[in-house]
Amino acid sequence: MFVTATFAAAPAPPLPKPPARPSRPVPAHQPTSVLDKHLLVTWYGSPWTGRMGVLGRLHGRELADGLKKQADAYAKVSSKQVLPAYELIATVAQPQPGRDGRYRRRESREVIDRMLREARAAGVKLILDVQTGRSTVMDEILYLLPYLEQPDVYLALDPEFSMGADGVPGRRIGTMRASEVNDAIAVLEFLVLSRRLPSKVLIVHQFTTAMLPDKEQILSSPLLDVVLSVDGFGGQALKRSTYRACMRQGMLPFSGFKLFYLQDTNLLEPAQVLALTPSPALVIYQ
């Protein structure tokens, strides 16, 4: 649950710079950053239900045309080239344990294959979103490895549904340790280096500071664009204050912002989104 914050009239203190990261050897293969020169605009969801986002409300040509229209709205106000993407929830948290007791459902390879074909036909990227439940980031990455090996497939992690050994999705907000995010970074780095892939994007979702308790320990990478995407629905003032709070707790190399077509009130316009500080390199619509 969100609590509306009251801010004093004095100017807000400057946002902290991303913390210094441990130095590592410079790899021989150095792909170009995606987000240095691109703004990633994505539509989020599951094809099975419209309650979880746009990917369940629109399909096929209607989905592709709708995303293009939304991306074009950002192209008019951004100095960067706009890069559209579908963000598919590939591991969906569940309120029941399931056969293996992991409180998550893996999307079938048939569905992921179809979404990848549709993304390629539309000329957009595919992002695979992971809600671990009681599973682990590494277990879910191993399931998705055949897709993450592809040059046009990115990864997103959702700490809200990272429940540890005894939590139940939906009953409380989850947490994710930096070590799990760093495991994902290591796997993606290995794929980029070993297969000489273009740079990849790793998205980490957040809307409360407790979701990422040791965020300052998350590594940056010369091979990936690691993005902190601030979620949470509500009015404009609440969304801005949530964004500020998450950024003040600690920033990652790139920032992102999520909007909800149905739950947000007085939906922020593209120019308003890009005017946030720091300006998002990723915009997600659910």
Reported as a single tens digit per residue, the pLDDT across 147-203 is 999 999 999 999 999 999 999 999 999 999 999 999 999 999 999 999 999 999 999
Q: How far is CA 247 from CA 171, 240, 254, in A?
A: 26, 11, 11
pLDDT of residue 4: 35
pLDDT of residue 23: 46
Over residues 214-232, the mean pLDDT reads 94
Q: Where are the alpha helices (DSSP H) in the chain?
A: 60-75, 109-122, 137-148, 178-194, 236-249, 270-274
Domains of the chain (ranges plus CATH)?
Answer: 38-285 (3.20.20)
pLDDT of residue 28: 62
Q: Is residue 19 scored above 60 in pLDDT?
A: no
Residues whose CB is less than 8 angstroms from the CB of residue 140 and which lie 6 or more positions away in sequence, other chains included: 90, 91, 104, 106, 130, 132
Q: Is residue 254 scored above 80 in pLDDT?
A: yes
Q: How far apart are CA 144 and CA 272, in angstroms?
A: 35
Residue-wise burial string across 102-135, b where 16 or more C-beta atoms lie within 10 A, e elsewhere: bbbbbbeeeebeebbebbeebebbbbbbbbbbbb
CB-CB contact of 178 with 212 (8 Å)? yes
Q: Which residues pair with 285 in a beta bridge?
A: 43, 259
Mean pLDDT taken over the chain: 91
Q: Reduced to 3 states, what is the DSSP secondary structure of residue 199? A: coil
Angle subtended at Cα 142 by Cα 131 and Cα 227, rounded to the nearest 5 degrees: 50
Other C-beta atoms lying within 10 Å of the C-beta of residue 161: 27
pLDDT of residue 10: 45
Confidence of residue 31 (pLDDT cuts 50, 70, 90): confident
Q: What pTM did the predictor assign?
A: 0.89
CB-CB contact of 52 with 46 (8 Å)? yes
pLDDT of residue 26: 56
pLDDT of residue 27: 62
Percent of the chain with pLDDT over 90: 83
